[in-house]
Structure 1
Amino acid sequence: MVTSSTTFSCPAEDPSTQPSSKYNASVRAHFDKHAAAIFRRTDRMFAVLMVLQWIVAIAVACWFSPSTWDGAQRSLHPHMIMAIVGGGVLASLPVAMAIFLPGRTMTRHVIAISQILFSSILIHLSGGRIEMHFHIFGSFAFLASYRDWKVLVAPTVIVAADHMVRGIWWPQSVFGIPTASHWIWIEHTIWVLFEESVLLITIRQSVSEMRSLAVHTVQLEDATQKADDANKAKSEFLASMSHELRTPLNGVIGMTELLAESKLNDRQQRFVHACQSSGKSLLKLISDILDYSKIEAGCMKLEQRPFDLRQLLDDVILSMPIRLDGKSIKLTSHLDDVPPHEVVGDSHRLRQVLLNLLGNAIKFTEQGEIRLVVHPQRLEADEVVLLFSIEDTGIGIPSDRLESLFESFSQVDSSISRKYGGTGLGLSIGKSIVEKMNGVIGVESEEGVGSRFWFTATFRYAADSSEPPEADPPTADIANSETTNPNPETEVYEYSASSSPRILLADDNCVNQQVAREIVIGCGWQCDVVDSGIDALRALASQRYDVVLMDCRMPLMDGFMTTKEIHKRIADGRIHSRPAIVALTANAVHGDRARCLDAGMDDYVNKPFESTQLKQAVSRLLPSQHC
């Protein structure tokens, strides 16, 4: 549909600022779009108004002069014919143009002329009654709805000419009197011009407001675009910082784990344990900040995959004794009412919330009992709402601090951070996750007695329990993060069960090379190391490998490009065997896992990783080889 642009200029808001031509073009485009919408809307209004005026013209003719009498017989008065035929012609053309050519310049000018001619007909049909002259003023007021002063020009000329011609030769039809002063039509024209001067001021003000609205709209769009760009830059910065922080942490945590497995005396073991604990605490802090940034940017998304809820809860309970650290705490659970079948949701984020709440309970409880209770709050045909409750006999929380407990960076008091550590982000992150699970979270506590944290979460029943669960590993806890085999039905990789599997490690960080190589060799597997994607391709062309451990960020050719090139070279025969490819990445932002799988990788291990994670990932891809 073609629409004309408005007849008013739309300069920049402040010429002294010399805005760019692109900015002016955007303002003009918004202004024209708004004006075109007004033109079309006003066209539709007049289409209805024309039909109504036609009916009114016929009614006026019927009222004042329905018939004529020539002394012998009564016949239809010419005014009736004028109302029916003339009014129909005047209404038909503008109605048709409003329907088929809305918003065009010609359409509104035809409507304006037809509208003022309707005023002339109604004045004539009423015998020049003064009341009907107000129809002219009303017509101009309606025409001003176009916000286009040019629309008023032709009707003004028609009114002046009509009053002059009929006022001089047929004053009865326009003024209702047999004779009239030659100045009376000038007086009427002056009143019309007076009204138009007021309407022009109104139109000018309206157009100015439209222009201001267009400027503000463009400014808002620019601000929104800048905010989006800033969020994108922030996400890229977080991804980069996550990688840069996690990469050395992988070396710290990995090396201390390898050191802990060596022959050390008790004093040295304590030192190593302190290094491991500090490394994991730092990782937890980094992960909390990353998750908080995701929430602030609205980037946190939950996976919807089937998983075994009871198995997840059992795993969480089994992982807790490691955290007790010699405390006299009895850890119990009541899971009898947990649905036995699989449910659909984000198992890793649920695990993250449970681990955080249970970890807090252990942190703030020196002795006594911690209890995990899970039972259905509401059962539906296709979903279940579960209530999770973690009760402890710890230090408790003052009642005046309960309301702010789930706010970001909130702790009971500053001494809590000094004594127990933490950032105060865990509960805020947990609250956001629970809300995304269509649940609520709350706390009941008595200082010196203990606390009860609870939350609800909604899960759908899995339609096909055979589908394996998969999701991005949470960034919250390295000790309990998992690797998953995302492609359980992929091809069987060629390897020799009789000989030791050969692993190719592609990583440009020498410390991480040492960590991964020691883990692989410790399992009795062979390991070759390269530090770039190009060298990995050369190695695969000359030697058969069962598994490739692929770092995603390497110079010259990163892990994604290398993986795609591997598949390409397998297809054209330059690489003779198909190795399984496991991504080793320090990225922990949403979508990285999917990006790895889309590139053709077969599994995903997030850095920093523990030795068991890497061993399990390789063992899954080589079923007969276990470490």
Structure 2
Amino acid sequence: MNHWTIQNRILFLALLPGVLVTLVLGIFFMSERARDLNNLLEERALAMVKQLAPTSEYGVMTGSSGILQNISNNMLEEQDVRAVSIYNPDMVIMAHAGPRMHTERLGQQQLLDGQLLLQRTEESVRVRAPVYAQNLIIDDEFNSFAVQPTGPLQVLGWVELELSLNNTRLQHFQHLASSLTVIALALLICSFIALRFSRQVSQPMQHIARAMKDLENGKLDTRVHVQAGAEFVQLASGINAMASALQRANTEHQHNLEQTTRDLQETLDELEIRNRELAIGRKEALEASRMKSEFLANVSHEIRTPLNGIIGFSELLARTQVNDRQADYLATIHNSSTDLLKIINDILDLSKIDAGKLIIEHTDINLRDVLEDVLTVLAPEAGNKGLELNYLIYSDVPLHIQSDPLRLKQVLTNLINNAIKFTERGSVNVRVSVISQNNNRAGIRFEIQDTGIGMSDAQLGKIFTAFTQADASTARKFGGTGLGLIISRALVEAMHGDIQVSSQPGRGSTFSFHIEAGLQPNPQDDLPPLPGLRLALLEPAVMNRMNIASLLQQWQIDHTDYEHLPQLQDALEQEGAPPWQGLIISIGRHLPDSEAVRKLLHQVRQQGLPVIALTEPGSSDSAEILLQAGVSFSISQPCTRRHLYRVLRQALQLPALPGQGQDAARNNGNKAAPVILAVDDNAANLKLVVTLLQELQLPVLSATSGREAIDVVRQQNVDMILMDIQMPDMNGLEATGHIRALTERGNMPIVALTAHAMADEKEALLKAGMNDYQTKPISQEQLVNCIERWTGFRCTIQPVAPAVASAPAPLCHWVFDTAIALRHANNKADLATDMFRMLLDSLALDMPAIMEAWEEEDMEQLLERVHRVHGATRYCGVPCLRNTLEKLETALKAGQNSMLPDLMRQLVEDSANLQHWAHSNDWETLLLEGTAVSD
């Protein structure tokens, strides 16, 4: 109906009322007429049966069939009468006229006036009435009978009359036909009137619509002329006025458009001139930016080159025999050079980001390993400041993802390092959660929360500005360039995330960021589960407890968690063997000296359970004490999953994994050492690489330019090349191309040495023919792994033997020094007593094992036992034995086998002297007296 024309709508609205009224009235009157005809037939039937009953009284009473038959035949002549039957009281027919009465589909009987019975069939109406013995009186109107009772009524018989419905139906059909004719005539008249009315309305509207269409098509001189009602005339006048107004407006608009076009043309001419000027300026700006980036790259390379030499040679020098003051100077040189190199790298990163050359790699990584690597590096700094460094990876976080591990570590390192730097006391907490995940993508959120100095709203607005910190006092106190956060934000945005910060002065700060990472299609954990094991975990810190519990659950290890030490002690003191196979205990830096810990370790030692202690970072002294107190293994927090897994297998005496621990013992067999060619135009860097390779006992060739490297490859037998990239005359990429062109040396592994390669630069290096790349300054460990990867030869890092002093060391005259023992025990006599007693017990067990290892020439077992006893002597005030063990351990590590026999004899003598002195003296009283004197 929405798409009907106005004429159709008018017709519909005009015909609808008439049609509805005509149909309703026609149906009503036809139904009423049909009902009247049926009622009339029934009334006639009742009237005739009432007349027939008294007329038949005499015949029924006398049993005269002839009279009754005449009466029946006479009734049959009445209109619509089909059949007549007269019955005796027993319903036996005495007389019948007409055909047999209809009995099919006989309707229900109706009792009328208390005497008459009425039944209907499909073709007739049957009425039955009783015949009474009575005197009959006929009234004047002759339409009813009055009974003058003279006594009780006696039924003489019955009369039944059947009237046909044919005549009634014929009258009904005649009436229906006449009614439909009247209805059709009425609808025809209504349609004619509606059609005339709709045309009077639709024709002017169509004329107006055509005029509006012409106006829409731009024929503004179109006018409307209608001869209809006043409303249409008024509408036409309005449309004509509108058309005139539009025509005038169009003329004015055309004039204005021509004027505007002329003005616009003048403006475009001016813009073209300015665009040419801007194009020239943009070209100059791009050239300046290119020159700036090239300048930064070249200058940073020129600065990094001597810095790499400083860092490398300071590391080499630190491995030689130096005294404490010299070692401190070397550490200062190394740290300062490393800090300066980091600043230069940050500046180069910033320039690359500004130039849009930052590319994010997508490699398969384990998220937990990435975070643990960062925390392991930063944990010592947090430990030195007395801060708790906690982290928690929620259980629903997907660990096997695809992202850029280097850039993710860079962001985490910047944020966590800032948190440690600006926090004097309290903790730094790192949380990792998942915010979204589908079939192949995940959104991962990192949150770094500290309890440091915090920042105000004004300071928050400055922290993401390059070379800017919150305020000048912060920069003076804590240092830094202010580039870390701006680089971190750029890296996070490159990983399709954002970074946010919330902070309050004096209450700490919370930095959070999220990244979008791909999910590895078929992730596999390289650490198989350990089902069937049960452990007890004591960790007061909630986050660390949840983190370690998550790892144990991942490895299918049943565990019972305890928050406080007394809870674990109560569990151990219960009757029966403990339900665990080992314990993991977190011990703070103050706990190793506590009586509760000693008591707990004594209980565990009696029950033979292995104990893994989690210590604060940098607390090596506490770790040695714990090992002497009965701890099986000590792990510095935050513990990595691989370290914890390896220690668990060792502590529970499980078989080592295939391939585990084979790197150090890998045997090259009869394979010859590869010849390595080092190429670098900087003499210091070249000397550093050559020295590192020579210490690995590898044959080394050197070249100072790309052309010289090509000549060496042509003339010498070279197995691998370490190639610098930026060199004068011919750089490393060009030299690599020429070497690849040599058919006989085309497959030689060539590894690029670059100071700071971005992702696109690394890709360019590999496309240019490089097999791999290493970042300067390169360490000896990097060289070992790189050489093994590309040549299959495993180098062994040779320990640097300490220089032997020219003057012999003075003989040790003190078997036991009470002052040293008390100083190491924090002036506590009971602790010093326990430590010395444990040392004596250890000597009783370890000295026979040391002698057995010496006799069997098992140097690895000998070194392990000597190292264990040496660690125990550091806290017990036994200078002679400690000095001998230190010399013996140093000689074992340096491979100075010629010194071993004399040192072994000295060890046996010093051990026997100490044990004899302990049995001959009341050393416990000496320790108590020493405590009193110090007090």
Please name the residue that 1:238 is paired with. 296
Of residues 654, 660, 672, the one that matches 1:499 is 672
Amino acid at match of 2:462: S
Q: Does residue 581 in structure 1 map to residue 750 in structure 2?
A: yes
**1:239-269, CA deviations, whole angstroms, 9 ceiling, x for partnerless residues?**
2122111111111111111111111111111
| Higher Cα Rg, which structure | 2
Cα distance in structure 2, aligned partners of 1:324 and 1:57: 85
Does structure 1 conserve the Cα–Cα contact (< 8 Å) formed by 2:407 and 2:491? yes
Equivalent residues in 2 for 1:103-502, closer than 5 Å: 204-324=262-382, 326-337=384-395, 339-398=397-456, 400-463=458-521, 498-502=671-675
**Distance (Å, rounded) in 2 between the aligned partners of 1:55 and 1:373:** 68
Q: 1:548 aligns with which of 703, 721, 729?
A: 721
Aligned AA (1:612): E
Q: Matched residue of 1:451: which SS?
A: strand
TM-fit CA distance, 1:140: 12
Aligned-pair CA distance for 1:614 = 3.4
Which protein has greater RCO, CA pairs closer than 8 Å, 6+ apart? 1
The Cα of 1:502 is off from its aligned counterpart by: 1.3
Change (3 A) 1:517 1:322: farther
Does the CA-based 8 Å contact 1:242-1:586 persist in structure 2?
Answer: no
Structure 2 residue identity aligned to 1:222: I
Partner of 1:159: none
Deviations 1:477-536 (A, max 9, x none): xxxxxxxxxxxxxxxxxx996111211001111100111111112222221111111221
Asked if 1:591 is matched to 2:760, the reply is yes
In 2, are the aligned partners of 1:564 and 1:600 still within 8 Å (CA)?
A: yes
Alignment of 1:38-57 (within 5 A): none
Per-residue deviation, residues 344-391 of structure 1 (Å, max 9, x unmatched): 222211110101111112222344332222121222332211121222
Q: TM-score under structure 2 normalisation?
A: 0.42
Shift of 1:449: 4.0
Distance 2:747 2:759 in 1: 28
Change (3 A) 1:218 1:393: same
Q: Which amino acid aligns with 2:712?
A: A
Q: Following TM superposition, by how much is the alpha carbon of 1:566 offset from its aligned partner in structure 2, in angstroms?
A: 0.9
Residue 536 in structure 1 maps to residue 709 in structure 2: yes
Q: Deviations over 1:392-446 (max 9, x none)?
A: 3333334542333233233232122222210112112212222222323223334
The answer as to whether partners of 1:344 and 1:461 remain within 8 angstroms in 2 is: yes
The alpha carbon displacement at 1:338 in A equals: 6.3
Counterpart of 2:680 in structure 1: which amino acid?
D
Q: If the length of structure 1 is used for normalisation, what is the TM-score?
A: 0.61
Aligned Cα root-mean-square deviation (Å) = 3.4
Give the equivalent residue in structure 1 for 2:829: none
The AA in structure 2 aligned to 1:567 is R
Is the partner of 1:320 in helix, strand or coil?
helix
CA distance in 2: counterparts of 1:408 and 1:283, whole angstroms:
18
CA, structure 1 residues 451+211, in 2 after alignment: closer, same or farther (shift >3 Å)?
closer
Is the contact between residue 239 and residue 589 of structure 1 (CA under 8 Å) also seen in structure 2? Answer: no
Match of 1:561 among 734, 748, 763: 734
- The DSSP-based 3-state class of the residue aligned with 1:328 is coil
Distance (whole Å) between structure 2 residues aligned to residue 433 and residue 60 of structure 1: 67
Q: Is the 8 A contact 1:374 1:386 kept in 2?
A: yes
Percent of aligned positions that are identical: 34
Partner amino acid for 2:708? Answer: D
Deviation of residue 277 (structure 1)? 0.6
Q: Report the Cα offset of residue 454 of structure 1.
A: 1.8
Residue 186 of structure 1 corresponds to which residue in structure 2? none
| Cα-to-partner distance string for 1:209-247 (whole Å, 9 max, x where unaligned) | 221122122223223322222222222122212211111
Aligned to 1:526: 699
CA distance in 2, matches of 1:578, 1:297: 35
C-alpha spacing 1:137/1:410, structure 2 compared with 1 (3 Å): closer
**Structure 1 CA distance, aligned partners of 2:373 and 2:471?**
33
SS at match of 2:509: strand
* Displacement of 1:138: 7.2
What amino acid does structure 2 have at the position aligned with 1:373? R
- What does the per-residue CA deviation read over 1:41-65, in whole Å, with 9 as the maximum and x for residues that have no partner? xxxxxxxxxx9899888997999xx
Distance 1:259 1:301 in 2: 37
Q: 1:602 aligns with which of 771, 774, 798?
A: 771
SS of the equivalent of 1:404 reads coil
CA distance in 2, matches of 1:416, 1:56: 73
More moved, 285-294 vs 402-411: 402-411
Q: In structure 2, list runs of 5 or more residues that go unmatched.
A: 1-212, 226-242, 525-667, 797-935
Aligned 8 A contact 1:519 1:615 in 2: no
How far, CA to CA, are the matches of 1:368 and 1:54 in structure 2?
A: 78
Q: Give the conservation status (yes or no) of the 8 Å contact 2:364–2:520.
A: yes
Structure 1: segments with no counterpart, 5+ residues? 1-50, 64-130, 146-198, 467-494
CA 210–518 in structure 1, closer or farther in 2 if over 3 Å, else same: same
Distance 2:728 2:437 in 1: 53
- Give deviations 1:575-624, integer Å, cap 9, x for gaps: 4x732111012354552212211110011112233333333322322334
Instruction: State the shift of 1:330 in Å.
Output: 2.8
SS of the residue corresponding to residue 549 of structure 1 reads strand
Are 1:614 and 2:783 counterparts? yes
Distance 1:222 1:381 in 2: 50
